[in-house]
Amino acid sequence: MDISTLLGASPVMPVIVLDKVADAVPLARALVAGGIRVLEVTLRTAAALDSIRAIAAEVPDAIVGAGTVVTPADLAAAAEAGASFAVSPGASAELLRAGRESAIPLLPGVMTPTDVINALAAGYTAMKLFPAAQAGGIGMLKALGGPFPQLRFCPTGGIDAASAPGFLALPNVACVGGSWLTPADRVRAGDWAAITELARAAAALRLADSAR
């Protein structure tokens, strides 16, 4: 599955931080039950790669990827763990090159027009704007749409349930990333029903956007 198809599968890509592998499968099932299938498990904890393995093996309806990929070694480890895609907060020339050669697609992180040009020159037309709020948010995405009409973005960073619809209304936004679907206190409590409700509300954002 290419990255454009992945980005179109859910209006919101949850940014997931897992401290315990045991939480991975029930969390993924809760998100899928609410209509959110594309899941970004960040490589920020020791549990991340094993969590990706568990979700890939046990939740077939989920499309699990690895986030916080910053080196070619991270990318290789994510692919080996069973990730279907990878997401980076930024992108070196080395990582962009590795992404083109990888068995799984990479969504490279960009923040400036120069970052965008470098990623575009390396063959990428889908990118993660990060950190979106600090980079200028909706105004920045509108500005980037002029010189780069062929690109699609997944803005991430500082986006929540209230601001997500404004981003999703932009023609160059394929989806948004956010951590509000998996609040740490709900994950620690194992409150999977609450997470399913958050996912259901996030999945409905696509319907609200298409109705405008």
Q: Which residues of 159-194 are buried (b: 16+ CB within 10 A; e: fewer)?
A: beeebbeebbebebbbbbbbbbbbeeebbeeeebee
Tokens 């931080």, located at residue: 17
Residue among 50, 28, 72, 71 nearest 182 (CA): 28
Angle at 168 between CA 162 and CA 170, to 5 degrees: 125
Residues recognised as catalytic: 40, 128
* Total residues belonging to the chain: 212
Identify the bridge partners of residue 185 per DSSP, sorted by sequence position. Answer: none
- Estimate the crossing angle of helix 24-33 against helix 192-211, to 10 degrees: 40
